A and B are shown apart, each in its own frame.
Chain A
Amino acid sequence: GENVEQHPSTLSVQEGDSAVIKCTYSDSASNYFPWYKQELGKRPQLIIDIRSNVGEKKDQRIAVTLNKTAKHFSLHITETQPEDSAVYFCAASITRNTGNQFYFGTGTSLTVIP
């Protein structure tokens, strides 16, 4: 099955700085890459996603890039705020007739220091 690696496992940044989280995947059939944010004690929630026919997508302070050739994708958060502190998960998904299968990275615990 798909193998998704995510780095770093922990990340501390000063408020206002940028944060970058990187993921790689193994299965070239993966064609959909969502990112989730999980606050303490809560469920993972989608923050941004990108499909394999797009190289970059931006939504306000959050952007995601995808390099299909190298099989890696990254999350960029600019102007970080304390409320960005959470665990972030990348995922790689393969779309099949029987639905999408999602495989998650191991998570990055982001701490934004005020």
Chain B
Amino acid sequence: DTAVSQTPKYLVTQMGNDKSIKCEQNLGHDTMYWYKQDSKKFLKIMFSYNNKELIINETVPNRFSPKSPDKAHLNLHINSLELGDSAVYFCASSQRGSPLHFGNGTRLTVT
């Protein structure tokens, strides 16, 4: 099944912990992204990678570190989690000139 898949779907953790979210796409797209959707539903770009190279880092705290081992994968590691990190994180991919395809999201809750 062609898709953008991310795991886990839900992540509940305590402040100060470190966690990772994994993302894979089998659409053959060159560009992958991480978006954060907060409680107000705003979709904010965090990172963009093109063929494994970082293109955009939108003033995201350096506690967030993306890693792209190949162009089909873009993982997100978060250190020292804070309450304000609670949100839904969407991975997405696109091919140049084409729309974004989103994963199903990871709902992160920091307690």
Contact = CB atoms under 8 A, between A and B. Distances in A.
Interface string B78-109: 00000000000010001111111111110000
A106 interface: yes
Most buried by B among A32, A36, A100: A100
Interface in A69-114: 87, 89, 91, 95, 97-104, 106-107, 109
Counting chain B residues whose Cβ lies within 8 A of the other chain, the interface size class is 20 to 34
A96 B58 CA distance: 17
Interface in B39-69: 40-45, 48, 50, 53, 55-56, 58
Contact of A100 (B40, B44, B90, B98): B98
A104 B100 CA distance: 11
Contacts of B95: 99
Nearest to A1: B58
B57 to A, nearest CB: 12
A49 B97 CA distance: 11
Contacts of B90: 43-44
Given A87-B41, A99-B30, A46 B100 contact: yes
B31 interface: yes
A6 B59 CA distance: 22
Nearest to A51: B97
Given A98-B55, A99-B30, A107-B41, A43 B103 contact: yes
Interface of B: 30-31, 33, 40-45, 48, 50, 53, 55-56, 58, 90, 94-105
